[in-house]
Structure 1
């Protein structure tokens, strides 16, 4: 009997999920359109795990939505309606626990999402990884370059200049690959930076030609 009473009290005090308003405030237009199942199935998934990249998730989310936007619906409306379907497990729990009406725009959603899953501590850690990067033993120049680009892309707001990024990459090279890069650049890569011979981080430039040749 006591156990039944305890269960009854617990049930009576449990919140009614049907009555909990969502954190997102939708407009009348957003309430009147339905997402296609095909779009929902194509959305990337974000679980809120420590190793996941929230910036990459947002990029992938944008790509999918851009290719399947319903006629007459704005990006803002589509993003707000579709984004909850891309969240799983801990990430979805986070969204459900946000205060009612706390998100009114897509900018609000992105800000809240990044504040939760890309906190200042993670930003500081990534900045240290970028300026302290080193080529691993047995890691090819191509693999090192790709790892460096992925690291930089994981923190779009790193605030490092292009010249500093090239310097960090160069200083982390092994002795042999550094000499290879210098030879392909017609001298020290860093010294040549002012003469416009430094590769662009986003396209590879001269470095792309180096690993194709070796």
Structure 2
């Protein structure tokens, strides 16, 4: 047991004094399962420009939903575990928020997405989709796969299937 990393065994996770996240009172103390901590630590978000905050949230929720803590709401577990899923610039961002800023999971998720997927990035990605054009010597299949990837990276684009097909069609080369 002494050779195991600290997150490999069950541990009681206590809120950090001065934390931006206010953890709701729970009726019972509970220990976070070691394998739960290992999964969360294995899916850390560093805040770099190439990392997708939406994918991080999705994966974090998937991991959290795998575990149930009797008499403890999922929201409490999420609020306690999320800081452990951050590293680098993302961890610094959370640590620098004012104490007690975040009281619910929705507030945390919204603040996180706002910081790491700002409106300017969304606008730029949407403009890139609208300006789509097939590259020289790019096959139809490769062009479509690239378009799908662009759409996946622009969460909440709200383009209808008809508009997507229209943008794609008009971006194809004459030969295609």
TM-score by length of 2: 0.80
Quote the residue 1:90 is aligned against.
89
* Offset, 1:156: 2.3
Would the aligned equivalents of 1:30 and 1:81 in 2 still touch at CA under 8 Å? no
Residue 79 of structure 1 corresponds to 78
State the 1:129 CA deviation: 1.1
1:23 and 2:20 matched:
yes
Q: CA RMSD in A?
A: 2.1
| Max Rg structure | 1
Higher relative CO (Cα under 8 Å, sequence separation at least 6) belongs to 2
Q: What is the deviation of 1:159?
A: 2.7
2:121 and 2:139 map into 1 onto residues whose CA distance is: 27
Is 2:135 aligned against 1:148?
no
- Tell me which residue corresponds to 1:40: 37
Structure 1 pair 71/151, CA: closer, same or farther in 2 (3 Å)?
A: farther
- Structure 1 segment 47-196 matched on structure 2, within 5 A: 47-177=46-176
User: Quick one: structure 1 residues 155 and 69, their matched pair in 2 at CA, closer, same or farther if it must change by over 3 Å?
Assistant: farther
State the alpha-carbon separation in 1 of the partners of residues 17 and 72 from structure 2: 27
Displacement of 1:75 after TM fit?
A: 2.5
Q: Cα offset for 1:147?
A: 2.3
Q: For structure 1, which runs of at least 5 residues remain unmatched after alignment?
A: 1-18, 178-214
Greater shift, 137-146 or 58-67, is seen at 137-146
1:78: how far off? 2.0
Shift of 1:51: 1.3
Query: Cα offset for 1:128?
Result: 0.6
* CA–CA separation in structure 1 for the residues paired with 2:77 and 2:108: 13
Structure 2 residues not aligned, in runs of 5+: 1-15
Paired residues in the alignment total 159
CA contact 1:130–1:152 (8 Å) conserved in 2: yes
The 8 Å contact of residues 45 and 86 in structure 2, kept in 1 or not, is answered as yes
| Structure with more helix by fraction | 1
What SS is found at the alignment partner of 2:65? Answer: helix
